Amino acid sequence: MRMTPFISEAARALLALFVDDGAIAFAILAIVALATVCATYVPGNTAEAVLLAGSLFTLFANVMAYESA
Amino acid sequence: MTWTSAAPAVSAAFLSSLVEAVEALTVVLSVAVVRGWKAAGRGALAGLASLLLIVLLAGPLLGSLPVRPLELAIGVLLLLFGMRWLRKAILRAAGAIPMRDEAATFLAETQALQGTARDRARRLGWTAGLASYKAVLLEGLEVVFVVISVGAAGHLLVPASLGALAACALIAALGAAVQRPLTRVPENALKFAVGVMLSAFGVFWVGEGLGVAWQGGDLSIPAVAAMFLAVSGLATVAQKREVEI
């Protein structure tokens, strides 16, 4: 059995667990980064709002940006 | 442990396991058809053993990590994982991408294995066993991730594991009884529901990791899930209109 293709396939599958569409993954990470900044420097519920509204908006925008072949 | 925090975790583990077990069963069944239950069973058992090893190694490791960074890391991974499932489920529900077809997958896997049988008869047993192993391992990894993430962050590893095991046992029993792919399981609806729940968990745990004080504590998880459900429903309807135009 050739192990290298199997291991690389498993590594790809592991990455694909979390990243399917690069744009949505990048947007989520950006929202988390922004929420982290807000949680550190901005008082109140700003981080909570950024996190929740950002995630919901990202999902909606990404779905609407999809163009079927 | 409260019912309000345990119920979403157990449901998410149960439903995601249901989906993944159906997908793994399709491949295991095709191996069984071409090479017999012995090769299919060996591969599946080896896959389950590998998954058990991963859980046994990862479980204690997670317990030794500091809580806040762990919550943040798990939250981010859950958000990535949950929104990936939700996005795909929305696009499938809207008709933008085709639904997963277990019957077609079963046929393709069977034909691929039969092709191998003609080309390299001696290696078929090994290839078939490996196909079964890979299906259980790769689909099972998603289950393990869901169980560990929703379980470890909320100290609900045991109930989440039981939920996942119940789903796997149910699908294994159904598969053994009917001996054909479970095409009637509403996979996309399940993925939609799991995507909503995991995305809500993700937002909640990222917030906890950042020190956000959620109003209502654990009760905010169903509230966040309701918001994801509403936006997902809206996105499905809107994308469906785009597809129809």
Interface test with A, best of B138, B199, B221, B224 (most A CBs within 10 A): B138
User: How large is the angle between the packed helices B102-119 and B3-35, nearest 10 degrees?
Assistant: 40
pLDDT of residue A58: 96
State the nearest Cα–Cα gap between B203 and chain A, in angstroms.
7
Please tell me which residue, A31 or B106, carries the higher pLDDT value: A31
Interchain proximity B239–A35, CB inside 8 Å: no
With CA atoms as reference, report the closest residue to A51 among A68, A28, A69. Answer: A28
Complex ipTM: 0.87
**Torsion from C-alpha of B180, B181, B182, B187, nearest 10 degrees:** 180
Q: B9, B160 in Cβ contact below 8 A?
A: yes
State the nearest Cα–Cα gap between B237 and chain A, in angstroms.
10
Spatial separation of the C-alpha atoms in residues A31 and A35, rounded to whole Å? 6
**Is residue A26 in a domain?**
yes
pLDDT of residue A54: 97
- Burial bucket for residue B225 (CB in 10 Å: 0-12, 13-18, 19+): buried
pLDDT of residue B5: 67
Per-residue pLDDT at A1 exceeds 70: no
Tokens matching residue B4: 């309000």
* CB-defined contacts A:B, below 8 A: 106
3-state secondary structure of A49: helix
Instruction: State the residue for tokens 């785009």.
Output: B242
Tell me the per-residue pLDDT of B98-133, one tens digit each, with 9 for 90 and over.
888 778 888 888 888 777 655 555 566 677 788 889
**Is residue A69 in a domain?**
yes
3-state secondary structure of B73: helix
3-state secondary structure of B180: coil
For chain B, say whether A41 makes contact (Cβ under 8 Å): no
Phi-psi region of A4 (alpha: psi -120 to 50; beta: other; left: phi over 0): alpha
Per-residue pLDDT at A32 exceeds 90: yes
For chain B, say whether A1 makes contact (Cβ under 8 Å): yes
Interchain proximity A39–B83, CB inside 8 Å: no
**Residue type at A15?**
L
3-state secondary structure of B80: helix
**Is residue A1 in a domain?**
no
Spatial separation of the C-alpha atoms in residues A43 and A27, rounded to whole Å? 23
pLDDT of residue A61: 96
pLDDT of residue B52: 85
Tell me the residue ranges of DSSP E strands in B21-89. Answer: none
Phi-psi region of A19 (alpha: psi -120 to 50; beta: other; left: phi over 0): beta
In chain A, which residues have their Cβ closer than 8 Å to the Cβ of B206? 32, 35, 51
pLDDT of residue B123: 62
Interchain proximity A58–B83, CB inside 8 Å: yes
**Is residue A36 in a domain?**
yes
Interchain proximity A32–B91, CB inside 8 Å: no
**pLDDT confidence bin for A39, thresholds 50/70/90:** very high
Domain hosting residue A56, numbered range: 20-69
Interface test with B, best of A7, A38, A48 (most B CBs within 10 A): A48
User: How large is the angle between the packed helices B187-210 and A46-65, nearest 10 degrees?
Assistant: 150
State the nearest Cα–Cα gap between B6 and chain A, in angstroms.
22
Instruction: State the residue for tokens 């917030």.
Output: B207
Instruction: Give me the number of domains chain A comprises.
Output: 1
Interchain proximity A39–B211, CB inside 8 Å: yes
Interface test with B, best of A56, A57, A58 (most B CBs within 10 A): A56
Instruction: Give me the number of domains chain B comprises.
Output: 1
Instruction: State the residue for tokens 């939920």.
Output: B163
Domain hosting residue B115, numbered range: 3-244
Q: What is the pTM of this model?
A: 0.83
State the nearest Cα–Cα gap between B177 and chain A, in angstroms.
30
**Is residue A34 in a domain?**
yes
Residue ranges in chain B whose pLDDT is less than 50: none
For chain A, say whether B242 makes contact (Cβ under 8 Å): yes
